Amino acid sequence: MAAALRIQNLHAWYGESHVLHGVDLEVREGEVVTLLGRNGAGRTSTLRAVMGLTGTRKGSIQVFGQETIAMPTYRIAPLGIGYCPEERGIFASLSVEENLLLPPRLKGGGAGVGAAMGVDEIYAMFPNLAERRHSPGTRLSGGEQQMLAVGRILRTGARLLLLDEISEGLAPVIVQALGRMIRTLRAKGYTVLMVEQNFRFAAPLADRFYVMEHGRVVEAFAAADLKARMPLLNELLGV
Amino acid sequence: MKRLPTIGYGLLLAGLLAAPFLGAYPIFLMKLLCFALFASAFNLLLGYAGLLSFGHAAFFGGSAYVAGHAMKAWGLPPELGLLAGTAAGALLGWVFGVLAIRRQGIYFSMITLALAQLVYFVAVQIPATGGEDGLQGVPRGVLFGFIDLGRDLNMYYLTVAIAVGAFLLIARAIASPFGQVLKGVRENEPRATSLGYDADRVKLMAFVLSAALAGLAGSLKTLVLGFASLTDVHWLASGQVILMTMIGGVGTLSGPLMGSAVILLLEGKLGQFGQALANLSGWNGFAALGESVTTTMGVLFIFSVLVFRKGIMGLGMKRR
Amino acid sequence: MNLLDIPLPILLSQLLLGLVNGSFYAILSLGLAVIFGLLHVINFAHGALFMLGAVLTWIGLNHFGVPYWAMLLIAPLLVGAFGVVIERTLLRWIYRLDHLYGMLLTLGVTLVLEGVLRAIFGASGLPYSAPEALQGATQLGFMFLPNYRIWVVVASLTVCFATWYLIERTRLGAYLRAGTENPKLVEAFGINVPLMVMLTYAFGVGLAAFAGVLAAPVMQVSPLMGQNLIIVVFAVVVIGGMGSIMGAILTGLGLGVLEGLTKVVYPEASATVVFVVMAIVLLLRPAGLFGKEH
């Protein structure tokens, strides 16, 4: 299976601050991969580096086979990536519907994965959003904003989804719904790289795991090995 | 204080004291000292308080008019005239400060510009300022009842004394606990506030001090040159002092001195330079541009923002 | 008929003049606000670019025989193109710096532009008459309404409303509003934000140039015509705040009208009334009438 995302020896800086020290990881098409690690390990920075949102980057980031390390930020998403930032990034001066429609449709395949979802499909998935479509984006509750953040990248037809802490601060019922959504997306052939603090949420969803510490990947294993690795994870993450 | 700057300042002082005997024109030097003082006062606010005032001409020019009027129309002796001008600067500075400090950053600058424009329009309309003609014929007077300032040499040394004194005052203020608090407010205002300092009050004090000293510079200039005019309150004068400070080096003590010297010399020689270029190239436009202090100032602004932010005296310094 | 001891025709005609000035304030503060929202630069050159629009209009007629109506389109395009040059060669280097540098840099541009044009044209006014179709006045029974002035108000309001609509109600405007809040995230969605920045600056200064064309027959066309105007516009944006498009428009118009009324009641204060209002607003409502603190 081809690699949707291949990161090799990635170094990244925020200004003078060197945050990633040679990250190596790979996400194959159709996989769900979870990045684990303590706060400050560099997980969010990795996602941001892929999107070109950090300062200087060095190394190699290949998205669907295309080298992106030297690309300006706005040329990266059209390769087929959708990014859901940790802070959700809902725009206050836009209505819910404007937020939903903001990220432009990406050129993709026909039906199935990569087909941009219609607005109605999104509203069908998230009825709460339909109700409030003309409210300012930030009037939504945390859970609704999270759904909006995911919904808008699904609308673009992105095949590779980068999800940063989407379960954070949400009610268990909503977290369960998100989990179901990710399983559905996986079944449809989407590729997902998620950063998750909530281990119980992430563990049943992922095919593979990476563990990060101090800006690099220190452990990698498949879902099948999860039980065996629990003691190690307890130590590394305090899970 | 480190050794080198002290030696530098010492040499400068010695040079200033000896200058009239070395053939320098006292009037030009006095004008230079006034603008150096103006720029130093401005730099206190920009470099040390981090506040960019776009309206400092209001203090310089406003006080120029007040001092001139006091000495000419009311017949006050020079020491009281200068005092009146300085006090007027302080008062106006307090009014501006109270209004402008209510907003942060770029709004602060726009407010000072607008308020200064108000002062300009008032100056245009009040008969006492002489309108377009300006306030002319301000007498030098007799200092303390016995020093005749009509003699250029006496006027010169008084100017040196005042300029040096004010400069030392600024240096002292910066090194004092007040200066430290000011620096703290500039670098991280929320933190300074959480430590218990009233940031607005500190900024206001710096503003008033800066305005008072700018007023002193303006009053001194009126005494030296004998007139005050609308040019002194025009926003271009505010722009000029910003440029002097930037070229010289913001936040350095000697920067404003260097910058004002460079700009004044440039302005003086610009006409000749333009004419030379015109003769060389055959395009009379150069002569006209040479007359255009505005264009040169504009180019220097662009240059110093894009390429030369540290300024002359800032070159040798590490990032603060 | 008299109101407050002032004959109604005089009051109304001053009101109209106030609306004319207010229209210029509105267009200019609108452009300034749009540019500041996305670029975080206070475009000091806004007054000079307004002036450039007027000067180009004069040049258009007197050197190339291009009539007023064509200049309404050509001048904004030319100045917009010039704006692209300014943004690409000068502004783009200072975005990561403190906002003050933007104001200083554009001040430099202002001085260069005014200085060069002054060297070419001198400082006195270049006369420009209104196009034939708009000359003269309409008789309304109790007063004359100068046609050209009506046109200025109508054209300005139309442009202001169109801009408001573009920004608040269209997809393109959504890009701009989002970019004002979080430009990096907008870029991460695949939108070419650097291009948007460039076009926004061009649009803002194009608006200023449009106002300049409108101004040519009513103000003295001279290299200095933008100088005092820009400072009043600064006061307008301090009063109105820069967070709201509608706020900028309404504040500009309102202050123009106030200025006009002041001219009738207390003429000596008319040049300064806007600044006095600014001082009052600062004392009572520091964030501005419509402002969101940036």
| B125/C268 CB distance under 8 A | yes
> In angstroms, what separates the C-alpha of B81 from chain C's closest C-alpha?
28
pTM of the model: 0.91
Identify from C28, C85, C234, C259 which residue to disrupt to test chain B contact, counting B C-beta atoms within 10 A and taking the largest count.
Answer: C234
The mean of the pLDDT values for chain A is: 89
C104 contacts in chain B (CB < 8 Å): 242, 246, 301, 305
Task: Look at residue A111 in the predicted model and tell me its pLDDT.
Answer: 47
Per the CB < 8 A criterion, the answer to whether A53 and A73 are in contact is yes
Strands (DSSP E) contained in B197-299 are none
Determine the angle formed by the axes of helices B235-248 and C99-121, rounding to 10 degrees: 120
Out of C181, C188, C191, whose CB is closest to A91? Answer: C181
What stretches of C90-226 show up as alpha helix (H) in DSSP? 99-121, 147-169, 171-181, 183-188, 193-215
Question: Rounded distance, CA C215 to CA C185, Å?
Answer: 40
Chain A and chain B touch, per 3+ beta carbon pairs within 8 A = no
* pLDDT, tens digit, 9 for 90 and up, residues B263-280: 988 887 777 777 777 777
- DSSP-derived pairing of the beta strands A57-63 and A81-84: unpaired
Task: Look at residue B1 in the predicted model and tell me its pLDDT.
Answer: 44
Tokens of A112: 């199935």
Name the closest residue on chain C to residue A75, using Cα atoms.
Answer: C190
> In angstroms, what separates the C-alpha of A239 from chain C's closest C-alpha?
32
| C271/B292 CB distance under 8 A | no
CB atoms closer than 10 angstroms to residue C161: 12
Its ipTM equals: 0.91
Out of C103, C109, C275, whose CB is closest to B109? Answer: C103
| Span A155-162, average pLDDT | 92
Question: Rounded distance, CA A29 to CA A186, Å?
Answer: 10
**Encoded amino acid at B50, one letter:** G
Which residue in C239, C241, C225, C231 sits closest to C103, CA to CA? C231
| C104/B297 CB distance under 8 A | no
What stretches in chain B show pLDDT beneath 70? 1-4, 282-291, 315-320
Q: Which of A24-33, A153-162, B136-145, C177-186 has the lowest mean pLDDT?
A: B136-145
Q: Angle at the Cα of B220 (from B216 to B224), degrees rounded to 5?
A: 175
Out of A77, A92, A106, whose CB is closest to C188? Answer: A77
| A74/C175 CB distance under 8 A | no
Task: Look at residue B291 in the predicted model and tell me its pLDDT.
Answer: 67
Residue-wise pLDDT tens for chain C (294 aa)?
556 667 777 888 888 899 999 999 999 999 999 999 999 999 999 999 999 999 999 999 989 999 999 999 999 999 999 999 999 999 999 998 888 899 999 999 999 999 999 888 887 888 888 888 888 887 776 677 888 999 999 999 999 999 999 999 999 999 999 999 999 999 999 999 999 999 999 999 999 999 999 999 998 899 989 988 999 999 999 999 888 889 999 999 999 999 999 988 888 888 899 999 999 998 888 888 886 554
A51 contacts in chain C (CB < 8 Å): 188
Name the closest residue on chain A to residue C243, using Cα atoms.
Answer: A93
Q: Print burial letters for C111-137: b (CB count within 10 Å at least 16), e (below 16).
A: bbbbbbbbbebeeeebebebeeebeee
Task: Look at residue B204 in the predicted model and tell me its pLDDT.
Answer: 95
Task: Look at residue A110 in the predicted model and tell me its pLDDT.
Answer: 45
Task: Look at residue B27 in the predicted model and tell me its pLDDT.
Answer: 87
| A103/C189 CB distance under 8 A | yes
C184 contacts in chain A (CB < 8 Å): 53, 73
Strands (DSSP E) contained in chain B are 142-143, 147-148
Number of residues that this document lists for chain A: 239
Out of B103, B301, B309, whose CB is closest to C111? Answer: B301
Task: Look at residue B102 in the predicted model and tell me its pLDDT.
Answer: 85
- DSSP-derived pairing of the beta strands C2-3 and C6-7: antiparallel
Strand, helix or coil at B185? helix
Band the pLDDT of A112: cuts 50, 70, 90: low
Task: Look at residue A108 in the predicted model and tell me its pLDDT.
Answer: 61
